[in-house]
Structure 1
């Protein structure tokens, strides 16, 4: 056999090797009773072509013939199948991780049913990207999966500008417990501040206690600067109750991002 079966090339580099690989798989699945016509029908070539390949495989000790219509893959044939399958698996991993992974694919919520390959318009709603069939918006993309209304859909091939206003972050400084904690905060003022924002986030036990005292529902507990900044970049206004001791770390991270923020205090 003068093809890739012996020279180390993978089955993808030679049509002949690819066909031999398929034939060996078919024999392994059906042995010992193997019909050449069944193999031909399965892989899409003629019965005569299968016969020619089988002759080469027998001559090169990849297959043993035990009489008419009875074939068996030898140890050498199995070893070659394993090697080629390993190479194929590594190639698929490469394509998945290094090729497809480099294609920019985002996720949106389908406003109505979307088909794979359909053009969509993009909007930002409540901090979440939404996709609508058609190209009426200022930003468009192409769906890479199908989705029903309200489900997640993959999108790529972005074009245009997604128009929406960035959110802001208002940090309400809460005294640490040694300085009075939640008891030293004007709870009514905090409630009024939070009502002007889309989300309420808290960082620190004293901040949690302040939210409870102000009768507020917490949207983001154990809030980090990264989470708050992400919400703001998605167009949401965030009210963050944070213990004063933690402000330096929070503001350093926010300062390095795109979100505008301010710090306020409401002493009780």
Structure 2
């Protein structure tokens, strides 16, 4: 289970930090108390603890701001909560539904299958080796889709890593300021490569690299990472904010780097 759901104190700490982030820099402890459902004294105690742990910085009377460490903790905790929610909806509540998977070999209706994620897609293999299994609802040849229901267990999935490489805007040199060999190496063997911004597109072309998509880079990366795929995004600096906003909204961890 996600750490912030392990006990009431951890959950309250998470909610109060999120409220501070939403209201900063002018923070009313009374308003936070009403929003979270605790007393103002409790908010004060939690806030002191957050300050002591370096997650919040006090800037004056009733003025607080969440530190970089606090943002990182919130992001990681939110990702854990999202992952747990996905487990509930997909792995638990999904037991009453039906989904499609790619058959790795011939499968007969009614057969028990082991489920796995490969290249971000659900695959089914005859047998109950697990740790996630289901029952085939259709016949299927190898490589075709097969209906699966009565899901049990959890698919072992490590979220993918997202790396965003910044390309300078044209006014700062654009693609000409980029080391094409370094860019090609950074993109090499990435399962998913997205690009956004004219300068970034030209930089990839100069490096002899073909992207998987030039549209909705942040959204594509977020979905791929949630399915366990590593993603590289090459983005013009002016576009990086839109990309990282989409990643944060999806609760996906990422890092931003330069190639020059």
CA distance in 2, matches of 1:210, 1:265: 13
Per-residue CA distance 1:195-252 (angstroms, 9 max, x = gap) = 2522211112222111111111222232431211111111111110111111112111
Cα-Cα RMSD: 2.0
Compare CA radii of gyration and give the structure with the larger one. Answer: 1
Residue of structure 1 equivalent to 2:48: none
What is the TM-score with the length of structure 2 in the denominator? 0.60
CA distance in 2, matches of 1:256, 1:172: 19
1:184 matches 2:177:
yes
What is the TM-score with the length of structure 1 in the denominator? 0.58
**Distance verdict in 2 for CA 1:181–1:108, change over 3 Å:** same
- Higher RCO by CA contacts (8 Å cutoff, separation 6 or greater): 2
Which SS does the other structure have where 1:228 is aligned?
Answer: helix
**Distance verdict in 2 for CA 1:248–1:176, change over 3 Å:** same
Residue of structure 2 equivalent to 1:116: 109
Q: Which runs of 5+ in 1 are unaligned?
A: 1-101
2:100–2:145 Cα contact (<8 Å) kept: yes
Using the TM superposition, give the Cα deviation of residue 193 of structure 1 relative to its aligned residue in structure 2, in angstroms: 1.0
Matches within 5 A, 1:226-241: 226-241=219-234
Which SS does the other structure have where 1:235 is aligned?
Answer: coil
Pick aligned residue for 1:201 from 159, 182, 194:
194
CA distance in 1, matches of 2:172, 2:104: 49
Which SS does the other structure have where 1:129 is aligned?
Answer: strand
Runs of 4+ in 1 over 6 A off after TM superposition: none
1:167 matches 2:160:
yes
